[in-house]
Amino acid sequence: MKHLLKLLDLSTEEIIDILNLADQLKYEQKHGITHHHLKGMTLGMIFQKASTRTRVSFETGMYQLGGHALFLSSKELQIGRGEPVQDTARVLSRYLNGIMIRTFEQSEVENLAEYGSIPIINGLTDFCHPCQVLADLQTIREYKNKLDGLKFCYIGDGNNMANSLTVGCLKVGMSVSLACPEGYHPDPQILEFAKVYDNFKLVADPKEAAADADVLYTDVWASMGQEGEAEKRKLAFKGYQINDDVMSVAKPDAMVLHCLPAHREEEITAKVFEQHAADIFDEAENRLHAQKAVMVRLMAPEK
């Protein structure tokens, strides 16, 4: 594995290897065992969109691994004034050991990887959010002690989260049911990937998708960059909510996850959110551990 651009690029074995290392790093951190695998290394973090979790977990993770992280707001980089990403990639490769980038177009991330000579990590694009899904899978395995054979249900927008969750969950042997309204389905590339799996289903009815689910997941109705569509989307997504009615058809011990930030009473009720706050904030914590595993595998593969 040279980069983490999207989960479509990873084998099942690579995903499981990252989850195993994430569990180990989590154990070590909880027990005060230092693991300076990236001593002397620097990660550049380019942000073209806002972030709480991604920024803080990468920066902290890099510190815990003995390295250093640089926050690079695109507004302050020359990239924000039109310097091509191809040139930025070649320059930053001379200073840094890795780059994490959060941006709009997936092609920008792919271009960085093509022109740069250091590992590139996708910290969210409009197409996907692979780091989040690695943390999600780590959390599901912690709670359920397995991944293979579990039933995963996603309700809401067929967005970057739906795209990455579909690929990640199918690759580790889970069945995936998505409930998305017409006009808001996942990316065609994802549907093409998923269509060979018998255990993949895309439906319109949230309760049909949630039936017997072990894990329920949702995300905001309007993602970053779609703020102007918020009102239109509120109408389109009415009913695409994790609430008591949806929970009543899932397994009694089903867990509920949300990548955050959450909009209570839109995609999830405040009640269900608080009932599952333990799951959701363990999930947020695991961003730290999963991303540390990704950085070690990419930036110090010999460790």
For ligand NVA, the binding residues (CB under 6 A) are: 124, 159-161, 219-220, 223-224, 259
Kindly list the residues in this chain that would bind ligand CP in the complex (CB under 6 A): 51-54, 124, 132, 259-260
Angle between helices 130-144 and 160-171 (to 10 degrees): 50
Helix (H) or strand (E) holding 284, with range, is: helix 277-299
Q: Which residue has the tokens 């989850």?
A: 19
153 is catalytic: no
**DSSP 8-state assignment for residue 80:** G
Q: Provide, rounded to whole angstroms, the least separation between the CB of residue 87 and ligand CP.
A: 27
102 is catalytic: yes
Q: 132 or 163: whose CB is closer to ligand CP?
A: 132
Q: 202 or 222: whose CB is closer to ligand CP?
A: 222
- How many Cα atoms within 13 Å fall on the side-chain side of residue 210? 26
Residue 139, binding choice from ligand NVA, ligand CP, none, Cβ under 5 to 8 Å by partner class: none
Q: 49 or 251: whose CB is closer to ligand NVA?
A: 49
* CA–CA separation, 55 and 291 (whole Å): 11
**Catalytic entry in 48, 132, 241, 291:** 132
Residue 52, binding choice from ligand CP, ligand NVA, none, Cβ under 5 to 8 Å by partner class: ligand CP
* CA–CA separation, 193 and 42 (whole Å): 35
Q: Provide, rounded to whole angstroms, the least separation between the CB of residue 51 and ligand CP.
A: 3
Q: Provide, rounded to whole angstroms, the least separation between the CB of residue 300 and ligand NVA.
A: 27
Give the burial class of 2: count Cβ atoms within 10 A of its Cβ; 0-12 exposed, 13-18 middle, 19 or more buried. Answer: exposed
**Catalytic entry in 136, 157, 214, 219:** 219
287 is catalytic: yes
Q: Provide, rounded to whole angstroms, the least separation between the CB of residue 56 and ligand NVA.
A: 13
289 is catalytic: no
CA 147 vs CA 198, 216, 297: distances in Å: 17, 14, 22
Q: 125 or 132: whose CB is closer to ligand CP?
A: 132
Which residues are marked as active site?
A: 102, 129, 132, 219, 259, 287
